[in-house]
Structure 1
Amino acid sequence: MTETVSYGIIGCGMMGQEHIRNIQLLPGGRVEAIVEPDPGMRAECEALVPGVRFCESIAELLSIEALDCLLIASPNYMHVEQLEEIAATRALPILVEKPLYTANEDAARVAAFMASYPAPVWVAMEYRYMPPVAKLLEDAEAVTGGIRMLTIREHRFPFLHKVGAWNRFNAKSGGTLVEKCCHFFDLMRLALQSEPVRVMASAGQDVNHKDESYEGAAPDIWDNGYVIVDFANGARAMLELCMFAEGSRYQEEITAVGPAGKIECLVPGPGRFWPKDLGEPPVPQVIVSPRHPKGPRVLDIPVDPTILDAGDHNGSTYYQHQKFHAVVRGQAAPEVTLQDGAMAVAMGLAAQESARTGQAVQLSAVTAGLAQAC
């Protein structure tokens, strides 16, 4: 008999609903109760989980004895306060969506939470678990002989509409290089097994959301940029982001190069956005290109269609929840720690600052502060 893992969910918009669909695919996964103030989102959740209990507050949610764990998928700027409320009330295992926080002034609060929270916390970095990305990470050392250069390119669609348009504004989202790109900074640290020391960035808002207004305020979220990161081990990484390139065949392209060779992965965007008149969406690929002997090998990395259809992240949300269930059951530790989540945000905020000022940003002070919290 499969042991049930009962979730309490905080925030159930687009990403929260993707989590629900994937929880429901897992043996033992159960959505027990939801905190979601928006009536439209509540109705969509009711359709996904008929009869689910809706709570009016986190306090009410935490009073439900049957809960085994919590999922936080609320807007970015709410995460820190919600984590603190949970810590003060009832410590349960948590899966918290990225980004962990959105502003430098919250770093000390996050550090205090990291140092004192007694239950496991997993920061949701879905991109690690996309099958082609996971294959690249698994094989990179052997193929490259040690990564010296890492390039991540994301060419995708603009930010989608969210309740209250919170993702249109830096103050609530943390800015594009935090909200969107903390995934990629996490991948950089993971792939290079080193800490960032310097960030240089150029970014701006050139195409998207320029004709929009929300309660008289114009969106200030960026839609494209470049970021270069130097790491302590001498490796370097680059991010290229464009959010007005949804015509691309592949959404993410990651390349790792070292003295022995090169490995790449190609990840298509959400299948629901692929034009039906073009046939089936592209299949994810990994390409291995040794220096000696020359000869690239292309490997298709297909994903189970049922898992693929449950979300927009190439099946990764399902695989992440599989591993999180083991954490809740006491069989494993979180693979994406609070430290990982905090460092990804620190890199994103440094990139935002570099792009704003035109100056390189040193990360030593930030990394030291976060390291002391662990």
Structure 2
Amino acid sequence: MDIVNYGVIGCGMMGQEHLRNIALLPGARVAAIFEPNELQAAAAKAIAPNAKLVGSVPELLAMEEIDCLLIVSPNHMHIPQFEEIASIRPLPLLIEKPLYTDPAQAAKVADLAAKYPAPVWVAMEYRYMPPVQTFVEQVQAATGGVKMLSIREHRFPFLPKVGDWNRFNRYTGGTLVEKCCHFFDLMRLILQSDPVRVMASAGQEVNHLDERYGEETPDIWDSAFVITEFASGARAMLELCMYAEGARYQEEICAVGPTGKIESFVPGPGRFWPTHLGAPPVPRVVISPRSPKGPQEVEIPVDPTILEAGDHNGSTFYQHARFLEIVRNGGTPDVALVDGAWAVKMGLAAQKSALTGKSVDLV
């Protein structure tokens, strides 16, 4: 097909990032948008002026020209909309993380995975950040086989969203699902192994405590330590702090093995970097062999046009480029439903561990 026509479901902040990146891709266009919030729909229309605004998922699916679908709605709506699509017109689908939010939905995901006839790609943008891709490509050679993996995200608090849905666990799945499924996915990707046990300590220490929505105070956590043991024998740790936006780098990933160490440093969104500090930091990767000693550092710059299209270090663009290959030519998604499901399963286990003070076995 010469032009791939997207139908987009949900166009809040992240949905609009997707629109800007699709606009940069040759041979791709947004043909239809379903966004029930009038302000967000108007903002989406400004980014994709040739897209048709529709009033429902069925109306969008009735448009014959649609070639593929993108779900970017609030977390708790992902599975109901996925099921609706499956029952009406199961087209190739890119569905934002987290795949689901409620443990009771795991069986529905397994059923959809078994029966859905078209490719389904779970959006895990962090895989496609150029410094993370370099890290993944080099990690085995740099370490001689990873024994210890740590991921640190020190970042800004949750941003305002339509209807304030991201302030409450019942809509998000909890911080360790909503925010951290990215990192649990990276752990499985880097270690090429599945987790067997999760231990966590987490809570709401600083953010959103003075906010009120109706009679409710937000219950979304802002910090955590999570330790995960893998079937391979490797161990991984996540450190999350969502009141540390003053840091030079937002994500730091470190893997160590018998022959050396590799690190990746990823800055946060450029729009948040103070102008008086000059140009934003450039991503970098550092490899530190044990013998002969001598760290080797390389910067991993990102095309400025792609960088400005979103808040995820260019990754949304590169993810869509790969998804379009699948839509045009067929093949297997990089991030399948089983990967998205594992990331949620790990997040839910971490939430449970933090609440109970006990480790959670996954096998």
Question: Considering the TM-score relative to the shorter chain, is it more than 0.5?
Answer: yes
- TM-score of the superposed pair, with normalisation by structure 1: 0.96
Is residue 273 of structure 2 the alignment partner of residue 271 of structure 1? no
Distance 1:197 1:241 in 2: 21
Is residue 89 of structure 2 the alignment partner of residue 90 of structure 1? yes
Aligned to 1:370: none
Using the TM superposition, name which of 43-52 and 86-95 deviates more: 43-52
Aligned to 1:367: none
The structural deviation recorded for 1:204 is 0.2
The structural deviation recorded for 1:3 is 1.8
Aligned to 2:258: 259
SS of residue in 1 equivalent to 2:214: coil
Using the TM superposition, name which of 40-49 and 251-260 deviates more: 40-49
Distance 1:29 1:149 in 2: 41
List per-residue Cα deviations over 1:176-223 (Å, max 9, x = no partner): 000000000000000000000000000000000000011211100000
Distance 1:21 1:346 in 2: 31
Is residue 195 of structure 2 the alignment partner of residue 190 of structure 1? no
SS of residue in 2 equivalent to 1:313: coil
Aligned to 2:47: 48
Q: Which runs of 4+ in 1 moved over 3 A?
A: none
Distance 2:322 2:139 in 1: 22
Is residue 348 of structure 2 the alignment partner of residue 349 of structure 1? yes
Distance 1:24 1:215 in 2: 38
CA contact (8 A) 2:31 2:50 kept: no
Question: How do 1:255-334 and structure 2 match up within 5 A?
Answer: 255-334=254-333
Return the letter of the residue paired with 2:191. L
Distance 2:275 2:45 in 1: 29
Distance 1:22 1:264 in 2: 28
Aligned to 1:371: none
Distance 1:158 1:299 in 2: 30
Return the letter of the residue paired with 2:253. I
Distance 1:345 1:68 in 2: 28
Aligned to 1:58: 57
The structural deviation recorded for 1:332 is 3.1
The structural deviation recorded for 1:336 is 0.4
Distance 2:22 2:194 in 1: 33
Return the letter of the residue paired with 2:48. V
SS of residue in 2 equivalent to 1:165: helix
Aligned to 2:73: 74
CA contact (8 A) 2:32 2:54 kept: yes
SS of residue in 2 equivalent to 1:25: coil
Distance 1:3 1:277 in 2: 45
Distance 1:347 1:239 in 2: 12
Return the letter of the residue paired with 2:144. G
SS of residue in 2 equivalent to 1:294: coil
SS of residue in 2 equivalent to 1:329: helix
List per-residue Cα deviations over 1:83-115 (Å, max 9, x = no partner): 000000001000000000001011111111111
Aligned to 1:139: 138
SS of residue in 1 equivalent to 2:329: coil
Distance 2:108 2:62 in 1: 25
The structural deviation recorded for 1:51 is 4.0
Distance 1:155 1:66 in 2: 43
Return the letter of the residue paired with 2:133. A
CA contact (8 A) 2:8 2:70 kept: yes
The structural deviation recorded for 1:12 is 0.3
Question: How do 1:198-213 and structure 2 match up within 5 A?
Answer: 198-213=197-212
CA contact (8 A) 2:30 2:50 kept: no
The structural deviation recorded for 1:46 is 1.4
The structural deviation recorded for 1:331 is 4.2
Question: How do 1:101-180 and structure 2 match up within 5 A?
Answer: 101-180=100-179
- TM-score of the superposed pair, with normalisation by structure 2: 0.99
Return the letter of the residue paired with 1:92. L
Distance 1:46 1:64 in 2: 18
Return the letter of the residue paired with 1:209. H
Aligned to 2:21: 22
Return the letter of the residue paired with 1:91. P
Using the TM superposition, name which of 52-61 and 244-253 deviates more: 52-61
Aligned to 1:218: 217
Gaps of 5+ in 1: 365-374
Distance 1:50 1:186 in 2: 35
Aligned to 1:358: 357
Distance 1:217 1:155 in 2: 27
Distance 1:3 1:337 in 2: 25
List per-residue Cα deviations over 1:4-41 (Å, max 9, x = no partner): 11100000000000000000000011000000000110
Distance 1:92 1:309 in 2: 30
Distance 2:159 2:59 in 1: 30
SS of residue in 2 equivalent to 1:30: strand
SS of residue in 2 equivalent to 1:190: helix
Q: How high is the sequence identity, in percent, across the aligned residues? A: 67
The structural deviation recorded for 1:163 is 0.2
SS of residue in 1 equivalent to 2:245: coil
Return the letter of the residue paired with 1:78. M
Return the letter of the residue paired with 2:255. A
